[in-house]
């Protein structure tokens, strides 16, 4: 017993100690959610020089914010239990891993924590006003709107949209991670995130039948596994809290996976998930020299192309695995289920340097029969070696194959296989040499 008291005492000491030097995300209890919380927005700055210890900043104190760098704001959503978002730390560190930037965690837990969703959603514009005041100060200090990036989760996505509207769409970029649907579905553009809110708006929709927003909201809208339900998430209420939030939260985990070098997810522009599953959208609908858009952090590589479209909105689909690495799709499960056809295709970044017919052909297709399925699986398991092996197979070139997708031929993807056959037919020479 004494030991327990000692331990608790020690924890309090440690806690109050770190509290003074490093501000951390507001931690509230379920009690706060029941009684409700007044709005208080805390901004915490993380940089590569100070990855673990945040600095509290506000519109009168910009701290170590370096105005010449990109600044990414992370804005969370509704918090019905008051706890900090479990993914926040990974997102901050992941962003700092990929780029030397300022990362600002927008902690509006006081405001978002309530059991009554409409109370939280009614505070979104007020949070946006606080962020506007902060960004105005950044601009005074020499920052550029081009360098401002907002990642908004759920209600946070609409907050980012409201900030963007106040700058007439001049913010660099907004990423909406399953933007909130309830009370926003069907609203006009001024009352929600819309493609005009930033120079580039990309959105992941992972729970359009419950907590997420159904219709497209950005220049590109990604619908993983069709956007309704995510593999690996509980299908019944027996799954507890996960039943409610798993699909919704998956958008954040998919985005996070894009920050990891080994897990890029390729998406296929398409009118509907059904068309995608039927193999109608495998050529990306994008000029030949480009490969398909990637989900997540690097989605803005396709910005110029996507914005040229009229209207500048594209829906993109893809399938994922049920747990990390999500990029692994359903290959292994389905192969184990004895599918015999395996279709493997790659998008070659620089067809000119490969022995493909010419620059007009961006994709190389290989249809693999039964014998080759084993080889394909082996290649897949040694993921880092796939591109090497494909080089040997297709290109005999040292150039990187930028993107690769492996998919099992299932009855629904018969048309992919047919298309693959045609392509293989046309490329027999290059494959055999």
The alpha-helical segments, DSSP class H, found in 27-123 are: 30-35, 88-98, 109-112, 117-121
**Catalytic site residue 76?**
no
Strands of the 268-269 sheet, one edge to the other: 55-57, 40-46, 102-108, 71-75, 148-153, 173-177, 201-204, 220-224, 314-318, 268-269
Structure tokens at 377: 């699986």
Toward Ca ion, which CB reaches closer, 36 or 182? 182
Stretch that binds Ca ion, among 61-69, 222-230, 376-384, 414-422 (CB under 5 A): 222-230
Using CA atoms, how far apart are residues 421 and 400, in angstroms rounded to an integer? 24
Binding to Ca ion by residue 247, rule CB under 5 A? yes
Binding to Ca ion by residue 229, rule CB under 5 A? yes
Among 146, 209, 271, 337, binds Ca ion (CB under 5 A): 209
- Which does residue 233 bind out of Ca ion, ligand NAG, none, counting CB within 5 to 8 angstroms by kind? none
| Shortest distance, position 417 Cβ to ligand NAG, whole Å | 13
Enter the DSSP assignment of 195: G
- Which does residue 262 bind out of ligand NAG, Ca ion, none, counting CB within 5 to 8 angstroms by kind? ligand NAG
Binding to Ca ion by residue 214, rule CB under 5 A? no
Beta bridge partners of 363: 347
Kindly tell me the burial class for residue 397, based on how many C-beta atoms sit within 10 Å of its own C-beta (0-12, 13-18, 19 or more).
middle
Toward Ca ion, which CB reaches closer, 189 or 240? 240
- Which does residue 378 bind out of Ca ion, ligand NAG, none, counting CB within 5 to 8 angstroms by kind? none
Toward Ca ion, which CB reaches closer, 217 or 368? 217
Using CA atoms, how far apart are residues 73 and 47, in angstroms rounded to an integer? 12
| Shortest distance, position 2 Cβ to ligand NAG, whole Å | 34
**Catalytic site residue 147?**
no
Among 39, 145, 183, 210, binds Ca ion (CB under 5 A): 210
Minimal CB distance residue for Ca ion: 247
Structure tokens at 74: 């992370």
| Shortest distance, position 81 Cβ to Ca ion, whole Å | 20
**Catalytic residue (one of 205, 248, 347, 391):** 248
Instruction: Decide the pairing of beta strands 40-46 and 102-108.
Output: antiparallel
| Shortest distance, position 207 Cβ to Ca ion, whole Å | 4
44 and 53 in contact (C-beta within 8 Å)?
Answer: no
| Shortest distance, position 3 Cβ to ligand NAG, whole Å | 32
b (16+ CB within 10 A) / e for 87-112: bbeebbebbbeeeebbbbbbbbbbbb
Using CA atoms, how far apart are residues 32 and 336, in angstroms rounded to an integer? 48
| Shortest distance, position 202 Cβ to Ca ion, whole Å | 21
- Which does residue 429 bind out of ligand NAG, Ca ion, none, counting CB within 5 to 8 angstroms by kind? none
Stretch that binds Ca ion, among 31-39, 180-188, 223-231, 294-302 (CB under 5 A): 223-231
- Which does residue 207 bind out of ligand NAG, Ca ion, none, counting CB within 5 to 8 angstroms by kind? Ca ion
| Shortest distance, position 424 Cβ to ligand NAG, whole Å | 6
Taking CA atoms, 116 is separated from 38, 105, 112, 123, 210, in Å, by 13, 23, 9, 12, 16
**Catalytic site residue 370?**
no
- Annotate 128-152 with three-state secondary structure: HHHHHHHHHHHHHCCCCHHHEEEEE
Residues making contact with ligand NAG (CB under 6 A): 21-22, 49-50, 53, 55-56, 58, 60-61, 66, 68-69, 260, 262-263, 325, 382, 384-385, 424-425, 428
Interface contacts to Ca ion, rule CB under 5 A: 207, 209-210, 229, 247
Q: Which residues are annotated as catalytic?
A: 154, 178, 248
């Amino acid at each position: 017993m004494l030991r327990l008291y000692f331990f608790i005492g020690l924890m309090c000491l440690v806690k109050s100690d770190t509290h003074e030097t490093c501000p951390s995300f507001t931690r509230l209890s379920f009690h706060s959610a029941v009684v409700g919380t007044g709005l208080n927005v805390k901004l915490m700055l993380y940089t590569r020089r100070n990855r673990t210890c945040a600095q509290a900043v506000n519109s009168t104190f910009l701290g170590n914010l370096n105005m010449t760098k990109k600044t990414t704001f992370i804005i969370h959503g509704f918090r019905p239990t008051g706890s900090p978002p479990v993914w926040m730390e990974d997102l901050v560190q992941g962003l700092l891993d990929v780029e030397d930037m300022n990362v600002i965690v927008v902690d509006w837990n006081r405001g978002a924590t309530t059991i009554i969703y409409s109370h939280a959603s009614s505070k979104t514009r007020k949070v946006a006003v606080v962020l506007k005041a902060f960004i105005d100060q950044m601009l005074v200090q020499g920052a550029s709107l081009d360098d401002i990036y907002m990642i908004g989760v759920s209600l946070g996505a609409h907050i980012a949209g409201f900030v963007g509207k106040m700058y007439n769409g001049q913010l660099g970029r907004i990423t909406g991670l399953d933007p909130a649907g309830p009370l926003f579905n069907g609203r006009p553009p001024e009352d929600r995130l819309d493609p005009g809110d930033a120079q580039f708006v990309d959105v992941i929709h992972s729970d359009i039948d419950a907590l997420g927003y159904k219709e497209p909201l950005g220049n590109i809208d990604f619908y993983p596994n069709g956007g309704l339900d995510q593999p690996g998430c509980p299908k019944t209420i027996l799954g507890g809290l996960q039943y409610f939030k798993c699909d919704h939260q998956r958008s954040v985990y998919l985005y996070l996976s894009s920050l990891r070098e080994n897990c890029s997810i390729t998406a296929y522009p398409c009118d509907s998930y059904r068309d995608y599953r039927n193999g109608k959208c495998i050529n990306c609908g994008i000029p030949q020299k480009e490969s398909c858009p990637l989900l997540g952090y690097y989605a803005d590589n396709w910005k110029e192309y996507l914005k040229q479209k009229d209207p500048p909105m594209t829906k993109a689909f893809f399938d994922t695995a049920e747990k990390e690495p999500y990029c692994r799709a359903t290959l292994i499960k389905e192969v184990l289920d004895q599918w015999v056809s395996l279709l493997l295709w790659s998008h070659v970044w620089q067809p000119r340097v490969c022995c493909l017919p010419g620059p007009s052909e961006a994709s190389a297709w290989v249809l693999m029969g039964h014998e080759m399925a084993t080889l394909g699986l082996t290649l897949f398991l040694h993921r880092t070696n796939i591109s090497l092996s494909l080089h040997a197979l297709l290109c005999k070139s040292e150039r990187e194959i930028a993107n690769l997708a492996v998919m099992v031929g299932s009855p629904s993807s018969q048309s992919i296989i047919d298309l693959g056959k045609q392509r293989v037919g046309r490329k027999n020479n290059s494959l055999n040499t």
